Amino acid sequence: MEELMGMQTTLPPLTVSARDARRFVAEALHQNGRAKHADVAVLLVGELVTNAVLHARTEVVVGVSVTPEAVRIEVLDTSRAVPVSRRFGVEASTGRGLLLVEELSDAWGTDVGPQGKTVWFELTEKAA
């Protein structure tokens, strides 16, 4: 896929970083003609950044890439622990982030390297 745009921001390990990530992604998608993906992308990036802040407790880098075929959002942290999707009861106030990513994205995954991990998802043009 030919990349048209790539932007990133670094956020501290604070709960407000999920809000900042949502704003960053929404702005990036609106600026690059992909506003139709913004609602889902904002929801999912908020979940991934929240997970990174709660579990990795490190700085988080959020990246947005746009190609003719898809929007790709990446959340990088310095923990090498792979996220695990868990099933919680219907009244639980936590535990649904990765389930949302699985259900609402067209593709997603985790890449682990020596410097940490990247959790990413894609929203394709055909699905918008």
With bands split at pLDDT 50, 70 and 90, how would you rate the model's confidence at 17?
Answer: very high
Q: What's the CA dihedral at 13, 19, 23, 28 to 10 degrees?
A: 40
Q: Mean pLDDT of all residues in the chain?
A: 87
Domain ranges of the chain: 5-124
pLDDT recorded at residue 88: 56
With bands split at pLDDT 50, 70 and 90, how would you rate the model's confidence at 96?
Answer: low
CATH architecture, domain defined by 5-124: 2-Layer Sandwich (3.30)
- Cβ-based burial of 89 (10 A; exposed 0-12, middle 13-18, buried ≥19): exposed
* Alpha helices, H only, 32-110: 38-51, 97-104
Query: In terms of DSSP bridges, do strands 107-113 and 116-124 run parallel, antiparallel, or are they unpaired?
Result: antiparallel
CA proximity to 98, closest of 55, 58, 69, 65: 55
pLDDT recorded at residue 62: 97
pLDDT digits (tens, 9 = 90+) for 35-82: 999 999 999 999 999 999 998 899 999 999 999 999 999 999 999 988
Mean predicted confidence (pLDDT) in 11-20: 96
CA proximity to 60, closest of 123, 12, 124, 125: 12
pLDDT higher than threshold 90 for residue 12:
yes
